[in-house]
Structures are given as structure tokens and as C-alpha cells.
Structure 1
Amino acid sequence: MLRLRTLGVLDLVDDAGRELRSVLAQPKRLALLAYLAVENRRGFQRRDALLGLFWPDLDHDHARHALNQAVHVLRRDLGPRVVVTRGDEELGVDPTGLWCDAAAFERALEAGHLEPALDLYRGDLLEGFFVCEAAEFERWLETTRATLRRRAAAAAWSLAERAEEQEQGSLAAHWARRAVSLAPADEAGLRRLVALLERQGDWTGAVRAYHEFAARLRRDYDLEPSAETRALVDAIRRRAERHVPGAGIEPPKGLRPEHQPGVARARPLARRGLAILGLVALVLGAAAAWAVWVRREARAPPASLTPIAVLPFTVRGSAEYGYLREGMVELLSTKLDGTGGLRAVQPDAVLGALGRTDGEMDPERARALAERLGGKSYIVGSVVEARGRLHLRASLHRGGGDPIAEATVEGEASRVFELVDELTARLFAGTVAGPGARLERLAALTTHSISALKAYLDGESAFRAGRFHTAVEAFEGAVREDTSFALAHYRLALAALWAEVPIIQELQLAERAQRHAHRLPWHDQTLVNAFLDWRRGSTDNAKVLYGGLVAGYPSDVEAWFQLGEALFHYNPPRGLPIVEAREAFERAVFYDARNWGALWHLALLAASERRWNDFHDLVARLTALEPEPDRLLELRVLDALARQDREAERALAPELRSATFPRLHAIAWRAAVYLHDIAGASRIARFLVQPQRDRANRLNGRELLAYLHLAQGRWRAARAELDSLESLSLPFALQARADLAVGSLSSRPLSELRDLREALRRASPAGLGRLWGRDRPWPQVQAHLLGLLSAELGDTAAVLAYAAELERLGEARDARGLTPALAWSLRARILAAEHRPADALRALGEAHPEIWFGATISDPFYSQGRLRYVRAELLRQVGHYHDALRWYRSLGENSPWDLVFLAPSHLRQGEIYELLGDRAKAAEHYERFIALWREADPEFQPLVARAQARLARLGSRS
């Protein structure tokens, strides 16, 4: 049975899962099929009605001929059992020959199967799909689309109500959010969601849902929420204040940098239990650095191209177009040459070998001529002129058999050159096989420029081999040739991200791709939208979209890879393991064995799991792809570190001295996080602080070294780096010193903390410096760190005031929801200090900030590590040990800043596993804690001795 998907993903596949490209490439015929399939439950459709829907501008005879031709082609391509007739005047589809998701969605709703129905509803009906000169069809589409969306929203609300009645709060919230997402401007629906979240005690989630709705309303409609909605949210805030002290406090009038809040005499707030680390990982290919001199490779010609002979076309119609018989040889050869591994035999050679004979080219003669010209592939075709319009048809043959690709185009004769471009692109699309080449096929069908297509294909080839700067150049060429080439904008955004080109803003490129995405099939619009969500940090949305794509299209390499990216980079901030990404990357490699990105992530996963043989094998495969020099350097350094080959590491020192900042920083943090080699990472980071490096390099290098030292329990060495940092940027050094002072397990003297708070309060952002080309959000950073220092000093009033100040300041760039979450975390510290861990957990809430993971390399302020460690500590205190273990395990999986708490998290896990009676796992974590802090400062050694004693009692596994 054929399967037609029209909800969220427009596609048509046969029973083996193969796309039926001949139909997908013809919008009007595809629209006719979709209309018949969606409306099939309401009976057969009269031919006269279909004429008005699809061919309103043609007279009756020509419209009827067009319908008959469309039905003929559909039956030819789909088989005779799909489009069926009833009498001479009615058409429909046979549901035993064609399954359609929209029809199945409505059947499931009517049967009361709401969850299966919503599984089918993956987006609006034929969203982004457009058919020229068919206004009545567009009106039908808008009406039907709105009806199906309303029915989906109503089903989601029904499921939410059912789940709440069954006391399944999380599930109820899930379905309520789904309902709101289906009607994003429905204020009544928003109020239902907010009320439901409050009934579950999720005040943070309720207020956040309101703010997201309000922002969307302003952005899309320039409106504000109604008084009724604002009153509901204000009431929720007031009720929250009864449970969480200071939740609604506004910053006092005098609370400005020049006014210090009074210091209360209360004891320090849970200083050991609520310690912190820093921030999330430097992402693979994060696109922010400054003034990087890139060594670009010369673009080599393709090693092997397939020779194709374009033979003279048959021309019928007006003699005026007889020139196209030989003219198509010249035109099509020029367009095809160099397109995706194809080489056209020179037109002069073809015409010279052929002579001046007229008539059609029979298959045997065509095959013999192609072989004579040096290849077994050839193209034959026809040009038919009628009433000033041209119909061009071409077929590509290999040997004397059936065609391996066919294409047809039609248009005004005055557009002959554009028609040849379109014919070339469609013909090329038919030559590209295999799931790994799907985007090339799509590119050929969605640009009007052959020059743009050629540049795009060059970019794809470079991107897959890990030559990202070359790919950026090629994709830039593609969008110059065709500014509306959505797929090229999308791939340029990806390539720029991996290439770390500072002058290119990949987020803006992704948004540009989305603006042009209406030219793409819905399947690929979904890819673009999911990538934009991923780039913005809206990972839950991205995972849903990518998950829907791989469920419907199991061989979609791009969707598998991007799903892996979402899981790999965004799982740890949600307390989930990065290993969940392995299957997605393995599936991508299964379908595309040379996929650089998937192989690279699999190598990092192998190292993270200490599967060293797999790691070395994957590094060898990546090296064989001949990536660009800086990527090759990173592979060689990581491989030497993993082998503990100091001689090889020393041999690479000259290249490391001259390496760019992004590459050195990436090697250092990946060595620390994935290779578990903090000492080796520190050796690499030393190259960042060489005297010849510029101020920005040294500033970032000193900060990284300070965090790496503290990760090994070496506060004195970290403080030495911070002292050096002060000479480069006093405010930068003060912020790092404050973050680490409240993050260490060894309490700092109160006098030191008071002096530090006073210095930070008086500091000015002047001279702060930039991290990876980004401005540090000084007001939010300052308020947060002052709140943390105040908590350490026991100054409850100041903590609450700084929490309110954070809320007043609003969001920081690339981090939606982080500033409010940090404000609530400050309040949670008060509750924890009052021995109310359950209330503290409720204050933290279940919502997760949406932070672009590339931003987390810029600044420890963006770290979610502190929030995760605090959450784990509170869960441990309330006896939720397995949940606590999950959050402890997430530390150290994706960020150099998290490593500050890697050793403490191992110590806590050892204690919990010992309590649970799992001696082997307890011993494993005690051993890892001891290894990390073996050379820690004296004040940390009692903790090391305690772990050693417990390990001895358990009996070492080794």
C-alpha cells in the first residue's frame, strides 16, 4: 500500500518506503491526489468540481484534458488501484491502495482514539504547499487546515482533562501544552494551561507559559494579553509568595550597584550543600570567535566524473524552434557539466560524430554513439511546441536499457533558458540515489539556478568531508546565485556553525532559511524549523520535530543526525545522559558511512564511555576523510592524549602554538570532558596564555585554567590564574573569582567573601572583555553573583532583593528562561538553609531554561551546572536517591565549567550507592573521586581521606 503524509510532513512512499519522486515533483498532480485522499471519506468528487479547483483559468475542454492527463500520469506512476472512477464523471482514491494520514487522523478521532490521532497530527495540512493559479484549492486548503487544527487542539484538551482526572499531572500538562501549541493565539486556552499548572504547584511553569504567550502576542499581533489573563497570573504570583519568601518582591529603590544591601548576621546559607560549578559545553563547531585567520584549502577538481553525451533532441511544432534540435545539445551540456559529479561530453564532439542526419535517435544508435564518445551514458529528449508554449522532455540512459532518470518541464517559449535550467535540475535529481543524497535531490528541485545548484553540491561534498570553511564558501556562492535558495541558506547556517566563522551569524542564516522555506516540501520545512528551534535552545520542540521525521522517514540521514545533535548537546542540562544520542548517530552512519558529523560525535561518545579501541578506530575513519587542517590537528592531539603518548603530544606543540583560539579551546575542553584528561586539557590550555597571544586569548585561557585547576581541588593554583586575570580585566576576574568562591566545597573565610562582594558591587563593566565575540551580560551576571555571595554571608534580605533584580532585568541573549530560573534558585537557597528541601525543589520548578548550547562556552553565567547540582543535592536530602543520581551523573558530560563539580558529584554518588547497597558502583565512584582530587589542596584532603577509608571498607574493585 502507498502512504501519503500530508500533516506536518508532505511525502509519498511505496510499501518499501521509497519516495515516489515522479509525483512529488509535480505540485498540481500531487495536490489533486492529496485532495482526493483527504476528501475520500466524504465520497467521490465530480470532475467538474475538480476543474474549478485546479484549472479555473482554462476553458472547459482544455481543463478537462489537463485533468485527464493528470489522472493518466498518476495511474501510470502509482498503479491503477489508487485513483479510481465511478462512472464517467466522478473520481476518488481506493483506500486499500493508498493510506492518507489526514483521513486516518479523522477516523481515529471519530473512533475516540485520541492519542493515536494526535500521533498522526504532526503539523498543519500541506503547510507551505502552494499551487499556482488555483485560488479555489487554496481556499479549500485554508478551511480544511483550520478545521483539522481545531479538532487536534480539542483532542489534546480532552486528553489533558482525562489525565488530570486520573491524577497524572505531568501527562495533563503535556497535553495542555500541546493544545496551546496548536492554537498559539487562543488566550482562553492559555488561561486553561496556566490554571492547570498552578493546580499542580508548578508556579514557575505557569508564569513562564504566560510570559511566552505575551511575547508571542506582541511579536505576531502587536497586542497585549487581556486584563482577565493578567489578573489570573498576578493571583498566581501572590499565592506563590505564601510558599516561597520574596517571590514577588520588587527591587528596593536604592538597590543599584552603588548601594550595598545591609548584611544580616544570619549564618551562611547551606554553603557546603549548595556549592556550584560553571557552565555548559563548548559546542561542536560553535559559531562565535573573533578575528580568526582561516587557512583555506584550494578547491580541487572532482577526482572522477561520469561522462554523459547529450544527443540531439526531436523537435515538433513550429519550425521557428527547429534550432533546439542541436541547440539543446549545447544548452543542456553546458548546464549539466560539473553538476554533482557529472561531466558532459563536448557538444562539438557530439555533433561532429553525428553528422547532419535528421530524424529521431533510436536506442541502439544512441548507445553506440555514446560509447564512441567515451562513455556509456547519454541523454535523449524532445521539444514539443504548441500555441507558444514549449514542452521539454529528457531521459538519461546508461547502456541500452530503460532510462535511469526522466524529467519534463513546460512553459512559455520565451522562457526557454529558464526551462532548460529547470529540466537540468530535475534530471539531475533523478540521478542521485540513496538516503544520504536526499538533500542533493531536493536542492535540484528547489532552485531555479544551475550555478547555485553546482555551488550547493560543492558545499555538500566539502561539508560531509569535514572541510567546513570550503563548504561555507560554496554555500555562500549558492545563495549569491539564488537568494531564495532555502536549502542553501540552511546548509550555510550549519557549515558556518561548524566552521566557527566569527563574521557569520548562523542564527540569522537559519532564520533566513525559514523565511524561504515555503519553497520546500513540508518534510524539509520541518527540518529547517527544527534546526531553528535547536539553535535557539528550544530543544523539546526540536526533539519532537526530529523524532516525527525519523518515525515517518526511517532513512532520513539529516533528521537522524540532527536528532543526535539535540540529544547529545541538550540532554545533560535536563539530567539525561548523552549516550542516548548514540543510536541516532549510528543510524545516520548506517545510511551515510562518510557522514563526518555523525562519526565525530560517535568518537566523542566512545571516549566518554572509555571505549578506547572504538575511539581510535573512529579517529582513523575521520582522518581518512581528509578534513581541513585545524580539524586534523584536533584529531591528532586528542588521539595522542587518549593514548597517553607524550612524545606525540610534544611533536604537535609547534602546530598548537599557531592554532586559532577556537581550535585550542575546543581541544582543551573536549580533552577534559570526553577524554577525562583534565591534566592534558590544562597543558593544551597553556598555549592560550602565551605572551604572543592577544588579550582576548589570554583572558579566556586564564579563566579556563582556573576552572580546570579547581576541578582537581587545587584552589591555590586557580587563585593564581585569577590573579593573572586581574591584570587583563578586573571585572572579568572578579566575576570568575566570585563564581569559584561560592562554588568550592571548601568554605572561604567570611571576610574574604565580604570583600569580594564589595569589590564586585563597585565594579564597572568597562574593560570586561568579550568571550568568543559575545558581550557578557554584565547586569544579570552581577546581580546573580551578588545574590550568591549574599547567600554565603547569610544576608537573606539581599538574596531576595537580588532575585527580584534579576527578574526586573529580564532575559539574557540566547538563554530564554535562565534569568528567572536563577532568581528562583536564589530563593531556593533560603528554603534549603531553613531545612525545607521539598519547598526548595518546588521553587526550582520543573521548567528548564532554553539556552543555546553554543552560548554556554562564552560565559559561566550561562551555566546550568549550578542549577543541576543544587537540584541533585535537594533530591538527595529528601531521599529521592535515584533522581538525585540522574542529576549528579549529568555533571561533567558536556562542559568544562561543570567539571568543578565532577569530583563532588562522584563523592555523592559513591555515598548514595553505598547507602543503596551497590558496593561495586559505590567503589567505582569513590575511586574516581580520589583520582580527580589526589593532588588537591590540603583543605580538601580530609574529603579524600574519607573516600579512601570508605573505599577500603568496601574493598577496592581493582
Structure 2
Amino acid sequence: ADIYEVADGQRLGQGQVEGAPDSVLMLADRLATDVLRVILRKGDGEVPRIDLASVTTASFPALKAYLEGEVLFRRSDFDASIEAYRRAVEADSTFALAYYRLSEAYGWSESIWSESAGEMLERAARLAHRLPERDALFVRASLALHRFTLDGLEPMRQAVRKYPEDPEAWFLLGDTYYHLGQAALVSLEETERALTRAVEIEPRFMPYRIHPVDLAFWHADSALAAQRIDDYQRLAPDAGFAHTSRRAFALAFGDSAVHAQARAGLNTLEVAEIWRLQGYFFHPRHAAERETVLNTTRRRDDVLKTRALIRLFDASMTRGRLQEGLEYLADPMTAADGRVCGVYEVHIRGLPVTDERLESTLAFSEHDTIPRTGMLCIGAYAADRGRWADHSGAVENLRRQAQSALGVGDSAEAGFYAALAQALEGYALWKRGQPDAALRTLTNAQPNASAAALDWLGLTHAEPVRWWLGQLYLELDRPRDAEPYFRSLWWDPLAHYYLGTIYEEQQEFDRARDAYSYFVESWRDADPELRPLVERGRRGLIRVTGVRRE
């Protein structure tokens, strides 16, 4: 096929494909890609794969802008791709696929909570009926993830079975695991498998490589992090992500001189980039780096300070520094719901906290306006104290908020509040001596209740419902059923202690050793009042070290 410029008739080049007569549609897609390579003047590795069935626009300017955006997006130039995708939807306001990609670009450029990302994704969802089944499924699953619900999880699991060689299907499944896997009781290993499968299928699509780098940090694996950063930088040397990940590597794994230089350089960065760095440092081994980044953020930005203080509490807890964590919660700038759930986390894990602190933080008031999981924690504390009128008041508060959300058409928010109310009712059943009924109620409420906490608090493990279920199963002498709940608390050292006891009882000594080691290493500098617990973990580690199941 000869290719000409319409305006002046100039010949731009030629596209040619060959194949069997029964493969016409596939050949048409390949020819379209060849033609676009000529039009966009790009090399073989730069032009995106074209599925003509997904391209629902009749506007050539819209299509050309969209494909320019695809070239930029695939090499992680998100800001530039946003401009291209915007031109596409300006040229054709019904171009569903361009809205979808625009939302993704905003999500990477800003955050998963980006208002612009949400707005573009809502528009794509309204136009999804114009798309083929596969693409419509991806749009709806992405919208579910943006809303932090698990509604897209099972459709994406079905998608990778239906389209096993589709990298986008694997990435969307992995991305859902990455953000909501804890609520879905998914392990880090399952998350890793889904995300790396997308890279294996489409290695030059750079956005697929970003989360696998994060996961290498989350495993505290310096060799794997270095390899993945090198691979990324080799393919996209100018991408901003490459520079950010290099800074994170210097902070996490650099020698003393490199670390000091990277730390000194934090003050030269934009606040948004500093904040982005803290997402690399969830592993307890990197808690000190996380604290450094978060403290730099809160000194520079009053808006982010409230969120930074909650995460600083979280980082302190991963190191067993209870008193330091409580001091962060006491800061008047700490968000009220984070303060409430942080203190409740300490209480529910059986760690020492004064009655005065508990009462001043967790006592119920019918005038409370604390949102989401904060009210769950207040109601649960009331149940712990046998204050059933206060517990009922907390349940009613959550149900009113669910109705209010429905009244403004926010079904996702209403679902979160309804699940939290149901979880609180399940907790009361447990405390009133009805464990079987409690299990049914809590299990039903857990996915949405956990997702609500992950979305709202942004903490790595301060979410009570999975902890309740793990402890309830242990109380019922069902350790195998408790295991997924503790395992889903990815970076919680105390959850790893309980995993160690479970695996030891099941004679899975290698797994017990890994779990005990994680706990003991994480809390090696714990506060004095926590050291007896660390010693129990150390004795468990000694028991299982060198033991193999016959």
C-alpha cells in the first residue's frame, strides 16, 4: 500500500504485509501498524500494536493524536502523552479508548487518586458500550480500581484466563493486586507473578515495568532492584521514573557516602517527588529511609503533613518503636481518623497503651464525624469495653453515612460504609460469644471493609478486620484458616510472628523460619516493653532453624 499526504499528494512511503487469505483481519491490523509507522515516522519498537476493532473514532486527527500519545505513553513520557490524548478527545469527544488512556496517563503522572484520572475514566466508562468486549472490560476494571473497590478483580482473573497472552490483562490484574491485594488476601508473590508476566509478553511497554521495580524494593532485594532499574533505564533513559528509582536505590541500598548524598539532595526536589519516594520503603528494613522522606515532606508541605504523620506512625510500628509512633499520633496535625485507628491498632495487638490514652482517643460520641474506618475502630473499642449502646451508636453512624452516600449517587462509598457497619456487627457477635456467626458476618464484610481502610488511611497494616479474622480463627484452633489473613498484612512484623507460630505448628519449618526472621529483624531495636515478645520470636526462630520436615 502506497501512503500519501492528503493535503498535497506527496508520497510518504509504503506499507506491505503478507499472509494467508483466512487471516484478513490480522493482516489489516498489521498493515495499519505499518502505515502508522510511516505517518508517525517511528521505528519498529516505538509504534504501538493496533487493534482496529478498538479504534472507535472516524476522525483521522483524533486517531493520529491518540497514536502519538500511545508512542509517548509506552515509553513512560506521561506528561507529553497527556497532551496528545487531550488533542485526541478534543478532536472526537466520543473516543472512548483515548479517554481511557488519558486517565491512565493522569494516574501515572499524578496518582491513582488523581481527580483528572477519575474524570477521564468516568467518561470512558460512559462510552464503554462502543468498545469491543475486551476493552470495555478493562475500562470497567480500571474504574473499579480507581474507586478502590474489588468489583474488577474477578473479571480480570477471568480475563487472563480468556486472554492468556494479553499483556494489558495481566498488568491490570497485577495493578489491582498491587493496590488492593491485601484486601483480597493476595500475596506479594501472586502480585509479582501477574506484573512480571505482562513484562514478559510486552517487554518494551515501559509502564509495565514500574511496579516490578517497586516490588523489588518491597522485598528489600537490592540485586533485583538494581537489575530492574537498569533494564528500565536502558530502554527509557530519559523517563522521570528512572531518576526517581535511582534516588530510592541510593537511599535504600547505597553505601554511606552515596546514602548521605542522596539524603542531602532531598531538599532540592519538588515535594511531589519526595512524597513519591516513600512508596518504595514499606519493607521494615527501609523504615528509617521512609521516616527520612516523610519527615522531609511534612516540613515542606502542610497539606501532606497530616498524611505524612500517619505514615510516620506506621513506619515506627514496623520497627517496634511504639512510643515514637504514639508521639506522631499525638501531633495535633495528625488526621483524626488516623489517630483513632493508630491507637486502636496498638490496643488490638495487645501492646501497652494507657487507659487514659484509649479513652481520650476512642470514646464514642454521637456527634462524631470521623469517617470510615475511624468510626469502625471507635465502635470496636466500645465492644471491647462492653459499652453496647456506644457500639450500636457507631453502627448507626456508619449506616447513616452509607445512606448519605447513596443519596448523592456514590454507590462505591455507600458500599464501604455498609461493609464497615457489617464488620462492626460481626465483631460484636464475637465478643458476645457467638464465634461461628461472627465468622460468617466478618468474612462477608471483610473485602470491602479492608478496601475502605486501604483507600482512606493509606497505612500498610492498620486495618482491623483481617486482624480480627486471623485472631478469631486462632481462637477456634483453626490456624490454617487464619494464615491467609495474617499473610495479607504484607509488611506487619507482628503478623509475621503469628505466621511463624502457624507454620511451625504445621511443620512448615522453612516458612516458619522466614516469618520469624522477618519479625525478629524488623523489631531488633524495639522499645524495651516489646522486647519480651521479640525474645519469643527469637526462640521460635532457634527452634525451626535447621529443622526439616521428614
Tell me which residue corresponds to 2:287: 678
Tell me which residue corresponds to 2:197: 587
Normalising by structure 2, report the TM-score.
0.83
- Cα deviation for residue 763 of structure 1 reads 8.3
Corresponding residue to 1:786 among 374, 378, 397: 378
Tell me which residue corresponds to 1:802: 394
Give the letter for the 1:670 counterpart. Y
- Cα deviation for residue 911 of structure 1 reads 1.7
Distance, in Å, in 2 between the alignment partners of 1:425 and 1:918 is: 51
Distance, in Å, in 1 between the alignment partners of 2:222 and 2:99 is: 38
- Cα deviation for residue 705 of structure 1 reads 0.9
Distance, in Å, in 2 between the alignment partners of 1:751 and 1:481 is: 62
Tell me which residue corresponds to 1:179: none
- Cα deviation for residue 588 of structure 1 reads 2.3
User: Are residues 1:844 and 2:442 paired?
Assistant: yes
User: Are residues 1:718 and 2:310 paired?
Assistant: no
Distance, in Å, in 1 between the alignment partners of 2:307 and 2:380 is: 23
Task: Specify the SS of the correspondent of 1:817.
Answer: helix
Task: Specify the SS of the correspondent of 1:746.
Answer: coil
Structure 1 residues 676 and 454 mapped into 2: Cα distance closer, same or farther (>3 Å)? Answer: farther
After superposition, residues 610-625 of structure 1 pair within 5 angstroms as 611-625=221-235
Task: Specify the SS of the correspondent of 1:650.
Answer: helix
Task: Specify the SS of the correspondent of 2:281.
Answer: helix
CA contact (8 A) 2:183 2:451 kept: no
Length, aligned pairs only: 531
Distance, in Å, in 2 between the alignment partners of 1:557 and 1:721 is: 42
Deviation readout 1:803-849 (Å, 9 max, x if unpaired): 23322321766545332332233333334334543332123133544
Corresponding residue to 2:495 among 886, 896, 905: 905
Tell me which residue corresponds to 1:510: 121
Tell me which residue corresponds to 2:297: 688
User: Are residues 1:824 and 2:422 paired?
Assistant: yes
Give the letter for the 2:495 counterpart. S
Deviation readout 1:498-557 (Å, 9 max, x if unpaired): 111687432331221122234333332233233233333443x53443344444444323
- Cα deviation for residue 687 of structure 1 reads 1.2
- Cα deviation for residue 464 of structure 1 reads 1.4
Distance, in Å, in 1 between the alignment partners of 2:533 and 2:380 is: 24
User: Are residues 1:699 and 2:306 paired?
Assistant: yes
Give the letter for the 2:389 counterpart. A
Distance, in Å, in 1 between the alignment partners of 2:416 and 2:462 is: 8
Tell me which residue corresponds to 2:260: 650
After superposition, residues 114-133 of structure 1 pair within 5 angstroms as none
CA contact (8 A) 1:810 1:819 kept: yes
Task: Specify the SS of the correspondent of 1:821.
Answer: helix
Tell me which residue corresponds to 1:948: 538
More deviation, 821-830/617-626: 821-830
Distance, in Å, in 2 between the alignment partners of 1:795 and 1:831 is: 14
Bigger radius of gyration among the two? 1
Tell me which residue corresponds to 1:663: 273
Distance, in Å, in 1 between the alignment partners of 2:467 and 2:137 is: 35
Give the letter for the 1:797 counterpart. A
User: Are residues 1:754 and 2:363 paired?
Assistant: no
Deviation readout 1:122-174 (Å, 9 max, x if unpaired): xxxxxxxxxxxxxxxxxxxxxxxxxxxxxxxxxxxxxxxxxxxxxxxxxxxxx
Distance, in Å, in 1 between the alignment partners of 2:174 and 2:339 is: 38
Tell me which residue corresponds to 1:526: 137
CA contact (8 A) 1:462 1:468 kept: yes
Tell me which residue corresponds to 1:468: 78
- Cα deviation for residue 780 of structure 1 reads 4.1
Distance, in Å, in 2 between the alignment partners of 1:948 and 1:576 is: 27
Normalising by structure 1, report the TM-score.
0.50
Give the letter for the 1:845 counterpart. T
More deviation, 495-504/872-881: 495-504
Give the letter for the 2:274 counterpart. L
CA contact (8 A) 2:420 2:449 kept: no
After superposition, residues 354-393 of structure 1 pair within 5 angstroms as 377-378=13-14
- Cα deviation for residue 494 of structure 1 reads 1.0
Distance, in Å, in 2 between the alignment partners of 1:787 and 1:486 is: 44
Structure 1 residues 553 and 832 mapped into 2: Cα distance closer, same or farther (>3 Å)? Answer: closer
Give the letter for the 2:504 counterpart. E
Unpaired runs of at least 5, structure 1? 1-307, 312-327, 334-343, 346-376, 379-395, 408-423, 766-777, 893-898
Corresponding residue to 1:536 among 147, 162, 172: 147
Tell me which residue corresponds to 2:104: 494
Unpaired runs of at least 5, structure 2? 38-43
Structure 1 residues 682 and 525 mapped into 2: Cα distance closer, same or farther (>3 Å)? Answer: same
Corresponding residue to 2:470 among 872, 896, 899: 872
Give the letter for the 1:795 counterpart. R
Give the number of the structure whose residues are more often helix, by fraction: 2
Give the letter for the 2:166 counterpart. D
CA contact (8 A) 1:750 1:793 kept: no
CA contact (8 A) 1:536 1:850 kept: no
Task: Specify the SS of the correspondent of 1:950.
Answer: helix
Distance, in Å, in 1 between the alignment partners of 2:270 and 2:435 is: 46
CA contact (8 A) 1:435 1:555 kept: no
Structure 1 residues 490 and 677 mapped into 2: Cα distance closer, same or farther (>3 Å)? Answer: same
Tell me which residue corresponds to 1:87: none
Give the letter for the 2:185 counterpart. G
Tell me which residue corresponds to 1:918: 508
Give the number of the structure whose residues are more often strand, by fraction: 1
Distance, in Å, in 2 between the alignment partners of 1:430 and 1:863 is: 49
Give the letter for the 2:420 counterpart. L
Structure 1 residues 657 and 885 mapped into 2: Cα distance closer, same or farther (>3 Å)? Answer: same
Structure 1 residues 862 and 567 mapped into 2: Cα distance closer, same or farther (>3 Å)? Answer: closer
Tell me which residue corresponds to 2:520: 930
Distance, in Å, in 2 between the alignment partners of 1:574 and 1:904 is: 20
Tell me which residue corresponds to 1:288: none
Give the letter for the 2:390 counterpart. A
Deviation readout 1:76-99 (Å, 9 max, x if unpaired): xxxxxxxxxxxxxxxxxxxxxxxx
CA contact (8 A) 1:703 1:736 kept: no
User: Are residues 1:573 and 2:180 paired?
Assistant: no
Structure 1 residues 583 and 684 mapped into 2: Cα distance closer, same or farther (>3 Å)? Answer: same
CA contact (8 A) 1:761 1:782 kept: no
Give the letter for the 1:754 counterpart. E
Give the letter for the 1:456 counterpart. Y
Tell me which residue corresponds to 2:40: none
- Cα deviation for residue 579 of structure 1 reads 1.9
Distance, in Å, in 2 between the alignment partners of 1:588 and 1:923 is: 32
% same residue: 25
Structure 1 residues 863 and 484 mapped into 2: Cα distance closer, same or farther (>3 Å)? Answer: farther
- Cα deviation for residue 626 of structure 1 reads 3.1
Tell me which residue corresponds to 2:41: none
Distance, in Å, in 2 between the alignment partners of 1:564 and 1:436 is: 24
Structure 1 residues 695 and 627 mapped into 2: Cα distance closer, same or farther (>3 Å)? Answer: farther
User: Are residues 1:557 and 2:167 paired?
Assistant: yes
**What's the RMSD between the two structures over aligned residues?**
3.9
- Cα deviation for residue 623 of structure 1 reads 1.8
Structure 1 residues 790 and 924 mapped into 2: Cα distance closer, same or farther (>3 Å)? Answer: same
Distance, in Å, in 1 between the alignment partners of 2:395 and 2:2 is: 72
Structure 1 residues 956 and 823 mapped into 2: Cα distance closer, same or farther (>3 Å)? Answer: farther
Deviation readout 1:659-715 (Å, 9 max, x if unpaired): 344433332233124x8422222222221122xx13112222222112211222212
Structure 1 residues 435 and 309 mapped into 2: Cα distance closer, same or farther (>3 Å)? Answer: closer
- Cα deviation for residue 576 of structure 1 reads 2.2
Which structure has the higher relative contact order (CA within 8 Å, separation 6+)?
1
Tell me which residue corresponds to 1:105: none
Distance, in Å, in 2 between the alignment partners of 1:946 and 1:574 is: 30
- Cα deviation for residue 495 of structure 1 reads 1.0
Tell me which residue corresponds to 1:321: none
CA contact (8 A) 1:818 1:849 kept: no
Distance, in Å, in 2 between the alignment partners of 1:862 and 1:643 is: 21
Give the letter for the 2:136 counterpart. Q
